[in-house]
Structure 1
């Protein structure tokens, strides 16, 4: 049922097309920035539904306009639409997130769980252009750095603290993702259909991937890019498509620089594009297909080295490594993602898409097959977790749940359009009814994408800033993470040293996102650089805590195989000792970490070698 009339873009020069799409990117970015600036002037209380009311009404208008543009080829093909559609999509994304978060400088999730290390990375790259680890000193970056590096550089250019730039950078990224989806789909289907699919993509992104914007930047255009690569790799008789092969390689390389799981997933898809058989074709055709797929992969690998080269060189030099990143299995990674069975507007659209893919597998294969293979590959990724459990790993398949939902939604939109066009030939009035139904479904999906009562929104208003105050203006001194400004003042008074030159042990998350201190240990092994030797560092911390006196502690610090901390930010105990939390990997248990403490008796810092201060609930010991 998926339409086969995969129209190329309107006849226009390549230069004009590039200029118009670049204009769309500028329009999307400008729309996002202007709206965020305007929304930042609002003073709405929290909690409130006032912002939701404004966002809902505005999105109803935006969805209606976009559906109207997508209902006629002449309108969708125009230069105004090419530039304007990305701006409208950006407005839709920005209004929802901007109004829900207008009273806080944190993004969704505040500084909790995964947002803690993401904000820390941005703070790191706001302080240096070097591809260094977000936490450990003297280690190359391991977490794919492209998005964070660019955001950090922009934050530094604008004089904005990295932690404060994370929110606007994330929202802007979601707007760029909507633009990328719009451009990619215009290379696959007619402009009118591209408008509607891009609108659906923006709505899906709000619901399933807003908390991880750099991942959505890759997922949003992935279905369209997959179709283009599928055709290019399998172009046996229809002529080669070097531009599509090169574009697929660039996409794969950007994915490797941004989100390695998605890069690996898409790389497998590229290989499948070569090996999935075509009825009536000789097996010999697989050889040139594999060659074309290999070209895509080679381009991707070459680009990946832009970010990964320092880490690869360190590994090749023989440095020991151990990664804990894949030792994580939440409930949504254990259960397969089946969005087509959800009782929601998008769930219904996914079901329509699944039916369209199945019915079009043989008759309309140019779109149905690549989308179907992409969806099946996600399910195979879930199945892969079982054998990986035997070696103490998982496939992290839950991170790919947005991919299968988006693939089925896009297929659903295209199938619904095809059905409407077929019926319209007999009942012209169906066109208007179809447009109204499309607008209602997408508007309902947008309204339900992010709940104002959700945990991520609440956390963005509760977590204290590095200033100690919460977004609502209060200061709760009973929270141990509300003492960051006093901790910073104590450390700088005792050291007179920039944060970038200090290694510290302990302290709240805000301490590490406020300024780019180097932690001796990462907050959890699953974020830690594999080169860091996480377990050995834990043992080293325990050995320091077990020293007999200050002199022995100093000797052990000096003998450390890693740069030892100069600053200790420990939780003060009633007996005068200070403790720091140690995290142990206990996978496959849930949760996958266990917590212990290392206790430093007061006598270990009773020496002229240390300056000791009490700061709220903390004991701050600084080596002179």
Structure 2
């Protein structure tokens, strides 16, 4: 369903900016939500084989319509190729060019950023024959559709099919708003609440029916998380341990050892599966040691303050407030669901609380990345609480049973449709960037023409100049400088990552910055060549410079300045132009860039 709809939407030619796509998505989305609520309203209907097959397709349609119609006029995904999307697109492009778990940027290093989602997407892009930067959009939307299905499948194991349909619909809607920028993260977050319920009872309950299967399945989930998003893997691993250690009321020490053993089974399975992706990095790190990683040295405003989605003046906020009330009131009445969900929420807030001690050692907990977990858990709890309220009212006033059910269904359609409409719009910056960022293949954006004043518009010409001058395949070539589009149009390796926070710690980021400064201080071309040949890392054979005053050639290097925000500062390094006045180098001016290629 997702792929068919994407193919159909890609044939539309609606000009941007426009709200026409939003109108289509809002209307059709409301109809889809109405059908899903109609299926959920009667348990026999929701339990049928037709519903089991139809619901994932309807969820996929809901997700694909909203994102697909917003992005129908661009080949980019949300965010274009700006900021974080630059490294994500580079990672997907790397695995479209190689089967190995290589670093997204550095030549000769294993991957440090969890490669699971990007490796699968890159291999799929290569198989489909679609450029990786263009396939990113297809892959991201498909991932969000699969996440909705995964949530539905997991909730079917925890609640009745009708309730599973409602909760999965709410999950799909929430994902559009809180985690569409990181689809690979949402793939893990969407089924996390029901999986948390499953493993909570598999570890703590006395009955043994299907316990082994539940523990093994949770271990697989933890392993997939480690391959895909290490923060979520660590977070859920702590939850599994807490499920074993939190005492049962009135029986504080009973069954503690068996519970710890069951939690250990889950963690061990997860660790073993994690090695599928992490083994190359672990081997390299054990051999050479691991310098400090800057990945957690980032503290934006939403990471410094705690998240309280239940106080948002929106339909999502209202659902979260109902969910909070339901969890608190259900702690003793409906403890099967309320307690594991409550612990999941409280663990996120504990993660926020740990930010302060982490700052004392120069790190953060990246707790803001877990905010979607709180919002999703409370929304799911809100849906289940609302269902319980309707059922209670029908029991209390049986004469109004039919009308109460109709009212509940109508409210469900209105609230869920409103949540979908409030998730994304054509006015969002990420949508505008998808239309305004230049394409790597043409240098022109989706809307407008080639703009020579933008330095990143010249990527196609830069790629051609480097490939022509070097005579080497892009996958074997290290380049210093240049726009992101240059590195995703062809699989070049960068001598330096664009920011230290996504750089492989085995690359020695600051030492590489020092090396660039030392090269700029060379006395003549021969001295520069000697210094390049003496580099402990594969040295650049191509340089993409900006032109500075007095004939100098400049490039920027970036430094970590945590805890400042922004957490990076840029330094301009100037190379005297005479350093490249040698037959060993070929120099060419292209737009605002100067391309220097070592022969």
Q: TM-score, normalised by structure 2?
A: 0.98
Per-residue deviation at 1:468? Answer: 0.4
Instruction: Find the counterpart in structure 2 of residue 161 from structure 1.
Output: 131
Pair 1:593 & 2:563 matched:
no
1:350 aligns with 2:320: yes
What is the aligned counterpart of 2:477 among 489, 502, 516? 502
Number of the residue aligned with 1:455? 429
Corresponding residue number in structure 1 for 2:379: 409
1:213 to 2:188 alignment: no
Rounded to whole Å, the distance in 2 between the matches of 1:391 and 1:147 is: 31
SS in 2 for 1:570: strand
Superimposed CA distance per residue, residues 62-82 of structure 1 (whole angstroms, 9 cap, x where no aligned partner): 010000001111110011100
Q: How does 1:48-447 map to 2 (within 5 A)?
A: 48-237=18-207, 239=209, 241-425=211-395, 426=397, 427-428=400-401, 429-447=403-421
Q: Post-superposition shift, 1:176?
A: 0.2
Q: Give, in angstroms, the shift of residue 472 of structure 1.
A: 1.3
Distance 1:473 1:449 in 2: 27
Match of 1:465 among 423, 436, 439: 439
Using the TM superposition, give the Cα deviation of residue 137 of structure 1 relative to its aligned residue in structure 2, in angstroms: 0.5
2:491 is matched with 516
Deviates most, 465-474 or 547-556: 465-474
Q: Deviations over 1:449-480 (max 9, x none)?
A: 10210100000000000120111141111000
Cα deviation for residue 496 of structure 1 reads 1.9
* 1:195 to partner: Cα distance: 0.1
Offset of residue 128 of structure 1 = 0.3
The question of whether the paired residues in 2 share the 8 Å contact of 1:108 and 1:460 is answered with: yes
Whether the 8 Å CA contact 1:581–1:595 is kept in 2: the answer is: yes
- Asked whether the 8 Å contact 1:131–1:307 carries over to 2, the reply is yes
How many angstroms apart in 2 are the aligned matches of 1:279 and 1:520?
57
Distance in 1, Cα, partners of 2:126 & 2:279: 24
* Aligned residue number for residue 582 of structure 2: 607
- Following TM superposition, by how much is the alpha carbon of 1:321 offset from its aligned partner in structure 2, in angstroms? 1.9
**8 Å contact 1:320–1:533 — kept in the other structure?**
no
Identify the residue that residue 14 of structure 1 maps to in structure 2: none
In structure 1, list runs of 5 or more residues that go unmatched: 1-30
Do structure 1's residue 617 and structure 2's residue 592 form an aligned pair? Answer: yes
Instruction: Give the secondary structure class of the aligned counterpart of 1:388.
Output: helix
**3-state DSSP of counterpart to 1:579:** strand
Q: Number of paired residues?
A: 594
Residue deviations 1:269-321 (CA, integer Å, cap 9, x gap): 00010011111325031111010000000000000000000001111113342
Runs of 4+ in 1 over 3 A off after TM superposition: 237-240
- 1:611 alignment partner, SS class: strand
2:505 to 526, 530, 534: 530
1:574 is displaced (CA, Å) by 4.1
Q: Secondary structure at the match of 1:313?
A: helix
Structure 1 residue 489, shift from structure 2 partner: 1.1
Structure 1 range deviating more: 281-290 or 138-147 = 281-290
Q: What is the CA-CA distance between 1:567 and the residue it aligns to?
A: 0.4
When the two structures are superposed, what TM-score results if normalisation uses the length of structure 1? 0.94
Distance 1:319 1:391 in 2: 20
Whether 1:477 aligns to 2:447 is: no
Which 5+ residue runs of structure 2 have no aligned equivalent?
Answer: none
Report 1:4-43 matches (<5 A): 31-43=1-13
